[in-house]
Amino acid sequence: MWVWLAGGGALIAIIGIVVMLILVLGGNKGGQSSARQAAVSYWTNVNGGNYDAAYALLTQEVRASITLEQMRQVLQQQATQMKFISVEATGENVTGDTATVPLVMKTNDNRTANLTATLAKIGNSWFVRNAGQPNIPQAP
């Protein structure tokens, strides 16, 4: 009888872990859908200089048109103009396997840039098809 109870406790623990993993990995984090998360993650990685992670969020078609090194060079040249302290998805429009996500980026001196990213759902994941281009106004 004690062996069954111990085994049952282990089973309950395993079920609890599986449920937690489903919620954490596949759940709706912070009220944002996966498309919103992918768009925010892309720009957060770009801003932090984590170009490998940003590149991995691009669709295969985009990656076929630009290498990681080319992307890194372009983004590093623009880095001084594109530094921001926050990026927020303000909505999304999903039609089938395509989503558009409006984003607002803020700099530490309260300038903002608005842009719209376009994403494609491939399998169960969202990838950036067009990241948009932040146009942060010049400082006064």
pLDDT (0 to 100) of residue 111 = 84
Cα within 13 Å of Cα(54), Cβ side: 21
SS3 content of the chain, % helix, strand, coil (to 5): 50, 25, 25
Rounded mean pLDDT for each run of 10 residues along the chain, 140 residues in total: 40 37 36 81 93 96 96 84 84 96 89 92 95 74
pLDDT (0 to 100) of residue 140 = 64
